[in-house]
Structure formats: structure tokens, C-alpha cells
Amino acid sequence: AQSVAQPEDQVNVAEGNPLTVKCTYSVSGNPYLFWYVQYPNRGLQFLLKYITGDNLVKGSYGFEAEFNKSQTSFHLKKPSALVSDSALYFCAVRDRAGGYNKLIFGAGTRLAVHP
């Protein structure tokens, strides 16, 4: 079965510093990977995805993610964090078990950006 792991429950970053939110994956076949962000009491917002092509994927709000096949990782990054980036971030992988395209989510990482 496809799965993703987010090893950190929380990441703390000072505003203006670069941030990284980690994600590793375990898949059979080519991975389809996603990052979503959730603000309090809200649904999820799509940030970016990796399907194929360049290993560095650029997404919304200045975020990017680097696909690393040898390390089976898909870490989310941003060069300069904003306080408004504070939210819950989910990594996800597509699972086609049962003939349907489903998303399997990681446990989530809470990002706290301090002024």
C-alpha cells in the first residue's frame, strides 16, 4: 500500500528564515505526491504536486518541494517564512487500490512561524 510519513509533529521557524517540512514516501510504481495546507477550522488548500518531470516543483504562496527518488523524500520548502504561513501541512500520495484514485495523507506537521 502507498503511504507517506511526516516525521515531525511540529516545526518552529523564525519569520524570514527558510523553512522545511519533511515528508517521505513508500510507493509501488511511480509516486504521485501532493502538499496541502490547512488553516484552523478550514478545509485543505492545494499547494503543489509532483507527477513527473523536474524534481523541484514550485507551488502556491512561494512554496516549493523537492522530489528525491534516492531518499524517497518530498520535502516542502520556502526560502523565507511568514507568520501567515503558520498552519497544518499535509503530505499526500495517490493510491489507486481498488481502481479509484485516492489520496493517502500523512499525519500532518504543524508549522509555527514566530515574529
Among 22, 24, 49, 72, binds other proteins (CB under 8 A): 49
32 is a site residue for other proteins (CB under 8 A): yes
* Host H or E run for residue 83: none
59 is a site residue for other proteins (CB under 8 A): no
49 neighbors 57 (Cβ within 8 angstroms): yes
* Short-list 110, 103, 83, 85, CA closest to 6: 110
99 neighbors 10 (Cβ within 8 angstroms): no
108 is a site residue for other proteins (CB under 8 A): yes
Among 1, 29, 41, 52, binds other proteins (CB under 8 A): 41
What is the rounded CA–CA span in Å between residue 25 and residue 108?
14
- Closest approach, Cβ 50 to other proteins, in A, equals 10
27 is a site residue for other proteins (CB under 8 A): no
The residues of the shown chain that bind other proteins, judged by CB under 8 A, are 32, 34, 36, 41-46, 49, 51, 90, 94, 98, 100-108
